[in-house]
Amino acid sequence: LQLGFLSTYLSDPIVKAFTSGTAFHVTISQLNTMLGLRLPRFTGPFTLFKTLASLLGALSMTNIVELIISLICLGVLIPMKEINSRFRQKFRTPIPIEIIMLIVATAVTFATSLDKRCNVQIV
């Protein structure tokens, strides 16, 4: 279904609320991966709350190495996205920092055998 045209008929606060809700949902669903937790996937109503409760219950089993890798990647990605947007006119094409970080993080994890030594999942 291509219903994107309906957004022109919705008020700005409603569109912002949907966008914020979606961002919150994506953040909660990615936290278990960032923390190195292997949690079950939930379906049905209140999935977000079930995931959050499961996440909070398993917080003590956080893989610190995966958390550090995630924070380093975020520490590089967020400023680089800002640099890309500020120098949009000067750069011919934006720096593909997402791909670069993916390659670098995977290479470092593989080269240092973090997958075997610290149970870091390479995806």
Torsion angle of the four alpha carbons 110, 113, 58, 26, in this order, in degrees rounded to the nearest 10: -10
Q: Angle 47-57/12-34 helices, nearest 10 degrees? A: 30
Specify the pTM.
0.76
The first and second tokens of residue 97, run together, are: 């920092």
**CA 4 – CA 55 distance, rounded (Å):** 33
Across the range 77-95, mean pLDDT stands at 91
- pLDDT beyond 80 at 1: no
Residue type, 24: F
On the question of pLDDT at 80 being above 70, the answer is yes
